[in-house]
Chain A
Amino acid sequence: MPEKEMKEIPYFGQYPVSKQVISLQNDRGTKYEMYLKVQNELVAAYNELRQELAKKKFGKDYNKITKEQRDAINEIYPQRISEAEPKNIGGK
């Protein structure tokens, strides 16, 4: 598990925030459909975590809370998807 860092977050006070980054690498021969599905799953995972925290902290859905509350949650679970240079195993 990635390292955590204590951060001052509005509504939450001191909160351990993960220094996570998701690295995504694809091949040049990957189909776009597969790529988008993977991206979709990653975003879905973030949304799930955010939704969970919103429910726990505010008792409401993530998209029902105020913008400030949402920003606080986004700071706890920042969406960091890094795309590495693609490989070229399959050729063009």
Chain B
Amino acid sequence: MGCHGAIGGDSGNGTGNGPGVGTGNAGSGVSGVGTGNGGSAVSGVGTGNGGASGGSTGTGAGGTGVVTLPNSALQSGPLLRLANYEFMNSLNDILGFTPDVVLEPDAPSTGDFRIGGPAGDNTVTTYHTAAMNIAAQALKTLATIEPCYGTAATGAAAAQAMCANTIASDLGPKFYRRPLDPAQLTSLNGVYSTIAGKYGFQTGVQALLEALIQSPYFLYHLELEEESMGAGAAGMQKVAVTGYSMASRLSYLLWGSTPDSTLMTAAGMGQLTTTAQIQAQATRMLADQRVVPGMRSFYEQWLKVLDLPTSKVKNPVTNMDYGTLYSPAVQTSLRASFDAQVDAALWGGGDTIKALLSGSDVYVDGNVASIFGVTGVTGTQIQKVTANAAQRAGIITHPAIMSVFATDTSSHPIKRGVFFWDKFLCNPLPNPPPDVPAFVPPPPGQSLRQDFEIMTAMGSCPACHSRINPVGFLFEHYDSMGYYTNTDSNGQPVNSMATVFGTNDPMLDVATTDAVQFAAHLAADDSKVASCMVNQIYRYAMHRHEFDGDAMSLASLTDAFNNSGRSVKALLAGVTQTEAFLNRVNVP
């Protein structure tokens, strides 16, 4: 009987056995994309051996391995493309609508957050298709942001060319996140005039928009002014990131999107140079409501709710019809409920970690109230109510998370355990070993927990499962959708009692009745979760896993976080003052 056979269907959803787990080899990974141990399938960046070409399609872009500047928190990484959420958010800010296009999926960073990896044929094809669709849609509303587009449509050719120049001059710097140089403007005007000459004004502008969307100046996180200092240099150089590059760093970190005009103006005036100036902008941005949707990009990745399954199945034993209950409307409301609860924890002004780990306030509408065991809520407006405190504690028992780490028909204690160790304790478990014994269906009449206990007792399984299983079993009261239940998916009574093992924390490594009590233990001694959250935000900000050189930065961030009463705003402001955020290392 084996450890890693799926049981009872497999709604899957990466449990931390994928990217980000194997960090040990990151230093030899290809340009810091992918984990270097081959676990990060999606990145498509080959495995290990940084200097190698990394696969027959030449995906080993960069050709240079990750380089660390001695005695610093600086690591070289490859030039990153915009992640898809950055691409979408940026276009929304520039053009005023969120495009409905399909892009190539992002790659995972070594820190298990999404980044834009090296581009290949399919990347180019999908950008090309997306640009056509976005430009066509943008024309419909372009006159509201570029008034001349409406008036010039019926005007003379010269007026139309002037309008195209106006559009290029205005949108160009927004797309490229730095001023256009004259050659770029000439080139964009050339696109317009070539096409408009044959097919008219509107088609010319459409081509101009497509050109902006497919330019590498839009698609890549260029730190051009800083990186160009290193071109041709003999050795590694530490370079302060300022100006337009810093405007983008701040904006994509805090708002998940392109810089606003204030940042661009400050950059242009040389006012994004000193750490105080950078801190002042960060403070301004953190006071802006845009930080709320902006940081959603962080926590939806951290807590894996992007992996919310799109369907479930009726459980044939208990007859719980998840196929029907887990409707698209419920999925949408679950996500809204999750966002509302995390937003309240992050921005409510109190101790973020305590708010994430405790409290029975939940945010529900009529679609999902019953999942939380709440009655009397109808309609589709999310509202705050109090759930049974014996059943819900903070975000960790939220049905969205429970639904992700489950199968189509049942809970999944292994997935939940692995998730918790990785994302709340920053103590990831390794991938399953290659010698996992074959799966043998469990005998009927025992609980799901017993099935897993037997399966994971074999061979070398206990080395990890002694840590994974107890934490996972604590969540056994939450079924495939996060309903609280006393009957498991095998129709057997739930036993959620477990003795947590392996945290080396005497307050946590104790006999625990269930997830609610576990949350109370964590909240009583929440330093572990707090420092893990600091690490997670740092990984998100730096697009990589932390390494030894980051130790001082992380220690001071953790202090700042704790001393501010666990304010996420203070933590984010602190991140903008770290060595790794303020500088880059140039490699020749």
Q: Do A and B come from one complex?
A: no
